[in-house]
Structure 1
Amino acid sequence: MEGGVHLYDDRVLLDLYAAAESEARWTPMLDALCSALSVRSAVVQVVQEAAQASWETWTVRDTLSTAHAARHDSYLNQPDSPRYQLPPGYVPGIEISSDQRSFGSQSRLIDDLRRRMAHADLGIGLWASFPIGGDRTFTLLLHRHPGDMRDLSEAEEGDLARLLPHLQQAVRLSARIGALQARADTLAAASSHVQAGLLLCGADLSIDWRNAAAVQVLAQTSLIAQVAGKLRCARPCDSERLRGAAHAVATGAARVGRVVLVGDDGATLHLRIAPTGDTVGASPAGTETAPLSILLSLPDSPTQFDVEDLAALFDLSPAEARLTSALAGGASITEYALARGIATGTARVQLNRVLSKTGTQRQADLVRIVHGSAARRSLAPR
């Protein structure tokens, strides 16, 4: 860390801010930092603080440190290391310091650290750290080259002080992006249980996201497909209609767009296009910037009903739930009885019990409430 350190070298700062989005960018940033600061190693870590000790919960190292991680950990990242022995009442805060400053007045501790660093083939440790909430501290830990036990100079401390705000901002961005990604992952996982096909698209029909049901719809129909990342209809005239409906919704000219596609064989696909938010003032007149949600439905697809769901939702026996699923799917009592190998009279007895349990008087009423229940599966499973 001799004079002329270029902390604002593009390699360092670009990788630092890229690391907020991708953890893999931390290592290139730390490699560049080692070169810029002329140090042996650079590590970033999150440490959980406790009353009498602390421990790492997350660590990323430069390339050299990664190659020697086991060796470094065996000597320096142990519970009995002086760095992890906190004095009673210690409250971590923003800090630029070193092993020499922290332990130099305690010969036993500094001697212990020097011995450990010699075994690890590292020089003295220097760091910049700050709290990130939840009794956790983020630390950039640097080690000089082996045998170099010089303390921080005034110039070096200034270098770390200038780098510190960038570290803090990168960590804040990383936490925010991580929280948003976790939320997106949760919503994506939850959407896999939603049976309606749902796409999130740009106004140009470029697909940003789709749930499992949408994937299934696109696989089942030849009327529309994803081509080069965009929705395209099999017929050019249908593509034109779809683009027109999307444009109208994206620009606020229409609240909702509805498109029906019909194939030569009579197969039908319904699309419902809606903005994902308020389009008023969202884009200049005539532009297409508002993101859209598109619901896909194959009305001709067989509707199925989960038997276990029906049993749990309506307190039915397995046999009663199977009958209810079949009737709601369009089968008659006679067809169900024949398929199950039971007498039609037995099936009618089961139906009467189902009507009683569901509080309905007629088979039509039963079918209606089942279609509105959470047991409904709009798409047949593959």
Structure 2
Amino acid sequence: MLDLYAGAAQPARWVQSMDRLCSLTGAQSAVVQAFRFEGGQAQVLWSAQDSRTRAVTSVQSPELNTGDNPRLEQRRVLRGLDRVASDELLFDPDDEARPRLQQRLAMLGLGRFIGTLQDVGRGVYLGLALHRPVHDSSDFSVEHINRLADLAPHIGQAFLLTDQLQATMERDERLRGLMDSLCFGIVLCGEDGRVQWVNRQATALLAPGAALCLQGEHLYGRSAQDTLALLAALSAARRAGPQRVGYLRLGEGAQALHLAIRPGDDPGALMLVLSSAAVALELPAGALENLFGLTPTEARLLGAIATGSTVEEYAQLRGVSVGTARVQLKQIQAKTGQHRQSDLVRLVLSSAAAHLSVPRPS
């Protein structure tokens, strides 16, 4: 039973559980499958097999693991819902699909069958199938049938745990990818500076020699004094609670790092937002076109102004006259309703264009 529930976090334990079930029942094969119906046919969403079945079926008859199995047709399989069923229950006496299936299974060394089926919610069913060796014509015993009936609810619960954990892991992976697309660094750490997670931008900002760096699992300033200042800021932010945000600058000049520190809901975690003036802000021209209704030329000029260029510098870089660039600027001001360059900068830096990094060509 321990292997069964441990399978949620360790998929290999499902194989061990199925191997043990084969040993306890004299089965040659044990397979559990989650599926839903589409057009009366089962679409397999997830499965686990004993080690022998995993090796043999995937090579010799993979379609049996993907729903191409007459037992899994809706009109047959639902006859076994919430009970231990055999082929005698699932197939009509004159159903020609049964001998054809048995012939295919015999080629894999599989004989007599019993199984269970349960509805695990959201239109998903979970089936468990046991097969004896093809040369063993004896039925499964009453003890084996009762064991399977007792085990079925636990298999259902173990699958739901597996499904929930897998969904959580997939969601977390998607969130990590999204966090990596931010223009600023994100760090989750404890009050002692021990890092729990960083996004890609934070990894770059915390490089060796930076005003703040990651050594092993902990954050350190460039000097002992900076490290103490960081730890004091983390402690103060923890005491202040989630309604307050702390701020800290480490380093000087262009190499300075700016930190915003906010406690999380978990008492053991704080979120650090890191930025550096030394990292050039990338403003995709396409984003500015879409957000502010600009032409490509206007978007390039606005991006240059928002990242610190003057109209004169932009004109020289693009090889146009200053007068032409000023005409373009007036068009931008008319479209955005912002008539001072400082207001244009504020508008751009508060927009969505300033917060997502541009994917690099691979």
Partner of residue 259 from structure 1, selected from 231, 238, 248: 248
Question: Which residue of structure 1 aligns with residue 288 of structure 2?
Answer: 310
State yes or no: 1:64 paired with 2:48. no
State yes or no: 1:54 paired with 2:42. yes
C-alpha distance in 1, partners of 2:32/2:171? 25
The answer to whether the 8 A contact 1:51-1:88 is kept is no
Q: How many residues align?
A: 358
Question: Which residue of structure 2 aligns with residue 121 of structure 1?
Answer: 109
C-alpha distance in 2, partners of 1:92/1:314? 61
Q: What do residues 333-358 of structure 1 show as CA deviations (whole Å, max 9, x unaligned)?
A: 11111111111111111111111111
Question: Which residue of structure 1 aligns with residue 194 of structure 2?
Answer: 206
The 10-residue stretch of structure 1 (81-90 or 267-276) with the greater mean CA deviation from structure 2: 81-90
Deviation at 1:251, TM superposition (A): 4.8
C-alpha distance in 2, partners of 1:339/1:191? 33
Partner of residue 154 from structure 2, selected from 166, 176, 179: 166
User: How big is the alpha-carbon RMSD for the aligned residues of Structure 1 and Structure 2?
Assistant: 3.1
3-state SS of 1:130 partner: strand
The answer to whether the 8 A contact 1:55-1:84 is kept is no
Question: Which residue of structure 2 aligns with residue 359 of structure 1?
Answer: 337
TM-score with structure 2 setting the length? 0.86
The answer to whether the 8 A contact 1:323-1:336 is kept is yes
Give the aligned residue type for 1:357: K
3-state SS of 1:304 partner: coil
3-state SS of 2:34 partner: strand
Deviation at 1:167, TM superposition (A): 1.0
The 10-residue stretch of structure 1 (326-335 or 233-242) with the greater mean CA deviation from structure 2: 233-242
The answer to whether the 8 A contact 1:76-1:116 is kept is no
What is the correspondence of 1:278-293 to structure 2 with a 5 Å cutoff? 289-293=267-271
Give the aligned residue type for 2:224: P
3-state SS of 1:21 partner: coil
Give the aligned residue type for 1:329: T
What 5-or-longer segments of structure 2 have no aligned partner?
none
Structure 1 pair 22–33 and aligned structure 2 pair: CA distance change class (3 A): same
The answer to whether the 8 A contact 1:97-1:152 is kept is no
Partner of residue 13 from structure 2, selected from 10, 16, 25: 25
C-alpha distance in 1, partners of 2:178/2:300? 26
C-alpha distance in 2, partners of 1:88/1:102? 5
3-state SS of 1:151 partner: coil
Structure 1 pair 173–252 and aligned structure 2 pair: CA distance change class (3 A): farther
The 10-residue stretch of structure 1 (232-241 or 99-108) with the greater mean CA deviation from structure 2: 99-108
Partner of residue 193 from structure 1, selected from 159, 164, 181: 181
Q: What do residues 268-291 of structure 1 show as CA deviations (whole Å, max 9, x unaligned)?
A: 1122221122xxxx7xxxxxx432
Partner of residue 349 from structure 2, selected from 360, 367, 371: 371
C-alpha distance in 2, partners of 1:122/1:184? 40
C-alpha distance in 1, partners of 2:53/2:215? 45
Give the aligned residue type for 1:25: R
Question: Which residue of structure 1 aligns with residue 228 of structure 2?
Answer: 240
Structure 1 pair 303–112 and aligned structure 2 pair: CA distance change class (3 A): closer
C-alpha distance in 1, partners of 2:78/2:16? 33
What is the correspondence of 1:144-183 to structure 2 with a 5 Å cutoff? 144-183=132-171
C-alpha distance in 1, partners of 2:346/2:38? 59
Q: What do residues 112-160 of structure 1 show as CA deviations (whole Å, max 9, x unaligned)?
A: 4543332221121222321122433112211112222333322112211
Q: What do residues 155-182 of structure 1 show as CA deviations (whole Å, max 9, x unaligned)?
A: 1122112322321221121222223223
The 10-residue stretch of structure 1 (212-221 or 192-201) with the greater mean CA deviation from structure 2: 212-221
C-alpha distance in 2, partners of 1:134/1:157? 28
Q: What do residues 311-338 of structure 1 show as CA deviations (whole Å, max 9, x unaligned)?
A: 2211111111111111111111111111
3-state SS of 2:75 partner: coil
Question: Which residue of structure 2 aligns with residue 97 of structure 1?
Answer: 85
Deviation at 1:296, TM superposition (A): 0.8
State yes or no: 1:331 paired with 2:294. no
Deviation at 1:105, TM superposition (A): 5.3
3-state SS of 2:133 partner: coil
What 5-or-longer segments of structure 1 have no aligned partner?
1-12, 283-288
The answer to whether the 8 A contact 2:76-2:90 is kept is no
3-state SS of 1:272 partner: strand
Question: Which residue of structure 2 aligns with residue 319 of structure 1?
Answer: 297
C-alpha distance in 2, partners of 1:329/1:117? 68
C-alpha distance in 2, partners of 1:261/1:379? 24
Give the aligned residue type for 2:305: L
The answer to whether the 8 A contact 2:42-2:67 is kept is no
Partner of residue 27 from structure 2, selected from 15, 39, 47: 39
State yes or no: 1:215 paired with 2:193. no
The answer to whether the 8 A contact 1:305-1:375 is kept is yes
Structure 1 pair 381–271 and aligned structure 2 pair: CA distance change class (3 A): farther
